[in-house]
Structure 1
Amino acid sequence: MSKLFALGFLGIVAFGAVSLFAAPEIAQAQAGLIPCGTGSPTAPGYVPCQLCHVFVLGNNIVKFLLVPSALNPIPIVLVIATFLFAWGGFVWVTAMGNPSRVQQGQQILLATVIGLLIVYGAWLFISLALDVFGVATFTGTGNWWEIDCSSPIVGGPPPPPPPPIPGCWALGAPCVMAPPGCCAPNVCDVGGTNTCIAPPPAGKQVFVTSTPFQGNLGGPIGADAICQGLADAAGIGGLRAWNAWVSKIGPPPDHAKDRIADHPYFRLDNTPVANGVADLQSGTILAPINQDEFRNTVIGGLGNPNSQVWTGTEDNGNVSGNECSGWMDSGGPPFGSRGTIGNATQIDSNWTDETSSPWCNSQYRLYCFEQ
């Protein structure tokens, strides 16, 4: 009986050795027992050999012996087992009542069954044990019988960064004609500098209009429409709504502080202006609102009409006594009305309440706040 097992073991070893030498031919039919180093090193998809591939080779040989595939639909182990079953049955049937021959045939059949149980039972036992202990879960190795030499070695050097994508640019580079998203994680400043700029901070934006207007704005709603139209024309409107910083007496009174959503506000160059409406009605803001919808800086100063802005609003955010008859009048002296103006170059109370003396036929800018 021991001779029988020895012969079977030697047969399997011999088959494995033959498989090594026959691997190039086998590779043509089934991706190869040898997982690397085949073909020209300059050919596309060439895989250089590593130590890991030694284990892949052993795993491939085991699969070739035990697992059905396109190359061997009936695994070699089952072919050998079939031969042993036939041999044992033949010895048993031809025993002619000879007890020793009957016993020999039975032992061959029993040894074959035990061998199959050991071979496939070991595989099943290992698989169940590793599943129970969750080895694949906490090691990330996946199926224990699959060896992936392409995975990075844990603890080894980090992989090199991916090469830059052609057609994408850094901060300050032109981007209008570039593919969408070329500035990521930055943004393309379309309609402004037309270059890649840093993304806007969390909050809303504010600008002063590039165009001055007389006091007949069509009421506060008309002033809002002016802001929206200028924002759309400059490419910063989109789905965003823009309201003007203007107040009217009413009735009912319409205060600028109530017309503006409570958000942090930034100029279009991302300079902080106010942390919220409370800052806008505190008498002091963080930076002058001196940038128009095209990101041009407004030049001027106190008393300079170029930087003066219609507001009708005191420094506390409430309506002042002069607001061009609800922003429906553009008359001059002696029968016209007057309106309060602020100054876009200032950060103290003058930003919204510089003077209330101008006649409404004068032309001044507007502050526009994103909502």
Structure 2
Amino acid sequence: MKLNKNMTRTLLTGLVGLTLIGGLVAGCQLFDTNSSSLTAPTAETVRPENFIIGSADSDQWGGQYSKDNTYFMVNIPVTGAVKVEYTITGGATYALFVDTTTPTKWEIGLKTVDGVTDTLQSVCVTYTDGVPFASVPADATTSTQHQAAHYLRKLENGTENWWPIDAAFAFAGETKTVCVLIDGVVQGADVAGPFPKATAPVTPARDVRIFVTQSTYTGNLGGVSGANVKCQSDTNAAGLTGYTIKAIISDSSQNAKDVLPAAQQTLPVYRLDGTTQIATNWAALWNAVTTPLNNSITDTWAWIWTGTWDSGTVTPNTCANWTANSGNGEYGRPDRTDFWIREFDDSCSSNSLSLYCIAY
């Protein structure tokens, strides 16, 4: 953790008075940019899946816990909460909690969750705007009750208030120096890693799939919204849990080529099975007349309401924006690699046409 001189002086002033009760070594070592003599953690088992709950700006604040010259590092988001769990050699599991509900106020503490009743040795400090308070209340420094409530001070509307929290250390028969530090901007590990590093959550890229509804309909679909509902409730959508499903259809308010969000348009497009590729990406669907698709959407002949030109834009034939059984509607053929989106038009009163649906 890289601290400037003023920040280091602040931490030294605020933490030098902390004394661990019941046999722990008094005082806290502070590790700054000169801590290159420390070794990377070997005994601890890190569980990186617990390192971040929240999102964005995960590098703005950093927390570090050091024990026996081994430590882990975690980056903390500006808002939200972080829970870090790790297991020491003796088998006890510890959890580090940091609450950063507002960027200028946070509490920090540790507790054991190993289920053993020990004498608790507490060290917990509240920071406001990076300035630590020196101690916890006298009646909160020791306890014989495992996971007993302890106290942290926080600044609320200019008034310092004590609040009970569950924050304690418990070491069975150990006398170790333990420090909790939180301040500054994490610019890199103080010693050679690897260290778990929190990042903003990223939604995994899904594949993109196109399927044909098993049900058939007249041109009165209840509008585009009704077509979307029909896709979402179709039997073929049953195995697509977690996907967003919409109809590939055009009307005066939307073009079919704009149904898929831009973030997914570079992904390959597959059949319902998720393995048979139809096109290398979304754009490749919309020049199929000149460059046929890799595979047809289905191997079975059918007619599909689309209201769409080969370019992906709306045609004049949309059954009154899919609200009427009069007039004509443009249709495509899922068994074709060229005229999949537009082959001809049919009477809107026909009830034998299906829908194209996209899942992403």
Range into which the TM-score falls when normalised by the shorter chain: 0.3 to 0.5
TM-score for the superposition, normalised by structure 1? 0.38
Greater fraction of residues in strand: 2
Q: Which has the larger radius of gyration?
A: 1
TM-score for the superposition, normalised by structure 2? 0.40
